[in-house]
């Protein structure tokens, strides 16, 4: 098991649509272990494979000590609206108030290849929608209003240049591009 560097906004892998998982095997199980390590080290509530540079449709999460993994997840239904101050390990240091559907019905596979169906709302509903976005190459900044985007322009540019929005320089941007969303 190993913790990986989390890719940061500006890294092209975060803008790509990830490919469906075709083999649920030992290699995938090792990837999932690494994703959990990386998520707990961060720490974060969830992590999608593209955030460690792997273009596969899988994410892990842990809410209230209930860890889970979803492979090839899809949103089947969504309803309502919920406002949440959302952050992302790939957009470190920044949080944005974003409205998304409150409740979602998500289907996917577990590590045994069994189909799972989860109906989740509020924080977990948000988490699933956020991680699913990562699998489609979408970052939370794409959900911002014009005003929020303007307000965060400087900080986002810093992140894309490989600096932290908060000013520490521990973050690494791979293939960083100066390109505002």
Binding site for Ni ion (CB under 5 A): 88
- Count CB atoms within 10 A of the CB of residue 80: 12
Closest alpha carbon to 45 in 123, 140, 135: 123
Q: Is 180 left (phi over 0), alpha (psi -120 to 50) or beta?
A: beta
Verify whether residue 131 is a known catalytic residue.
yes
- Euclidean distance between CA atoms 73 and 117, whole angstroms: 9
Residue number closest to Ni ion, CB atom:
88
List the catalytic residue out of 131, 142, 146, 147.
Answer: 131
**Measured from the CB atom, is 24 or 156 closer to Ni ion?**
156
C-alpha separations of 44 from 12, 17, 19, 48 in Å: 21, 22, 23, 11
CA angle 113, 18, 12 (to 5 degrees): 150
CB closer to Ni ion, 69 vs 88: 88
Q: Judged by CB, which is closer to Ni ion: 24, or 134?
A: 134
Distance CA 145, CA 148 (A): 5
Say how far apart CA 62 and CA 123 lie, in whole Å: 11
Distances, alpha carbon 120 to alpha carbons 28, 32, 79, 117, 129, in Å? 25, 22, 11, 10, 10
Nearest residue (CB) to Ni ion, 61 versus 108: 61
User: Residues with catalytic annotation?
Assistant: 131
């Amino acid at each position: 098991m190993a913790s990986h560097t989390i890719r940061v906004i500006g890294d092209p892998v975060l803008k790509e649509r990830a490919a469906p998982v075709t083999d649920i095997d030992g290699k995938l199980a090792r990837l999932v272990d690494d994703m959990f390590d990386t998520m707990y080290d961060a720490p974060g509530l969830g992590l999608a494979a593209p955030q460690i540079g792997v273009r596969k449709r899988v994410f892990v999460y842990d809410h209230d000590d209930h860890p889970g993994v979803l492979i090839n997840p899809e949103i089947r239904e969504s309803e309502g609206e919920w406002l949440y101050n959302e952050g992302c390990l790939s957009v470190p240091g920044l949080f944005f108030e974003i409205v998304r559907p409150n409740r979602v019905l998500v289907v996917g596979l577990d590590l045994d290849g069994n189909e799972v169906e989860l109906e989740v709302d509020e924080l977990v509903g948000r988490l699933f929608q956020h991680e699913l976005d990562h699998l489609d190459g979408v970052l939370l900044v794409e959900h911002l209003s014009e005003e929020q985007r303007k307000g965060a322009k400087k900080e986002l540019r810093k992140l894309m240049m490989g600096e932290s929005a908060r000013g520490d320089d521990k973050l690494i941007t791979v293939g960083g591009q100066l390109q505002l969303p």
